[in-house]
Amino acid sequence: QEIIIATSNPNKAKEFRSIFDTDKYEIKTLLDLPDVPEIRETGDTFQENATIKAHTVMEKYHLPTIADDSGLEVDELFGQPGVRSARYAGDHNDAANNAKLLSNLGGIPEEKRSARFVTVLVFANPNNPEDLVVEGEVKGRIANFPEGDNGFGYDPLFYVPELGKTMAEVPMEEKNKISHRGNAIRKLESKWQDWIIW
Ligand code: ITT
């Protein structure tokens, strides 16, 4: 069965491929498909943006399509960067985003740097008018300086107490076991057999 993951982010694509059973499903992403339509993420919530991505892509290729909209919510910053996580410091630039986050939290002590990563997945299917929507999260806190070279985005700043490390200090397989995206994908897989009409 072919499934499209409506993402152009190569790191998300890698994580999806490593969690899904790729013997059962042939996964394509926007990095593999021709004539990718323009996607305008104009929503105010993760779910709205994931819905826009899933439907724009499903309507173009007529295949079951999963979209991932995700981000980092920092309590002390009232949930920012939130839906604007990719473009927090302007253009999509991980280094600039991380620098801005550290600067906005300058002087804030460790116990007040609590945060969560969130992923909302929307699964749209040409043969089912209803979308399947799930959310996954992982809690942690924002470190005082970046650690680790794995992962992407805010991973080097996201300290996970249960790991005793940042998300960028563990291999992708370890990240996937506890991450927002891993949790959301496992939830989706537990539900979609009752929902999907291939
Ligand atoms: P697509 O829309 O093409 O899927 P994107 O990177 O633009 O790719 P989002 O709009 O969902 O995706 O933005 C999510 C941003 O949140 C992402 O660029 C990172 O900055 C951050 N983020 C999401 N998941 C993350 C993770 O697992 N680790 C670190 N940062 C993450």
Tens digits of per-residue pLDDT, 9-61?
999 999 999 998 778 889 999 999 999 999 999 999 999 999 999 999 999 99
Say how many Å lie between the CA of residue 110 and the centre of ligand 1: 24
CB of 152 closer than 6 angstroms to any ligand 1 atom:
yes
CB of 85 closer than 6 angstroms to any ligand 1 atom:
yes
pTM of the model: 0.97
3-state secondary structure at position 190: helix
Taking the CA of residue 68 as reference, the ligand 1 atom at the shortest distance is 4
Task: Give Cα separations from 172 to 26, 38, 88, 194 (angstroms).
Answer: 21, 29, 24, 29
Domain at 2-192, CATH class: alpha beta
Domain residue limits, the chain: 2-192
Say how many Å lie between the CA of residue 45 and the centre of ligand 1: 14
Spatial contact of 117 and 138, defined as CB atoms under 8 Å apart: yes
Spatial contact of 189 and 176, defined as CB atoms under 8 Å apart: no
Residues annotated catalytic, as ranges: 69
Q: What is the ipTM of this complex?
A: 0.98
Q: Note the pLDDT tens digit of each residue in 53-102.
A: 999 999 999 999 999 999 999 999 999 999 999 999 998 899 999 999 99
For residues 23 and 182, what is the distance between their CA atoms, to the nearest angstrom?
Answer: 18
Most informative mutation of 12, 30, 51, 97 for ligand 1 (most atoms within 8 A of CB): 12
Buried-state track 85-101, b at ≥16 Cβ within 10 A, e below 16 = bbebbeeeebeebbebb
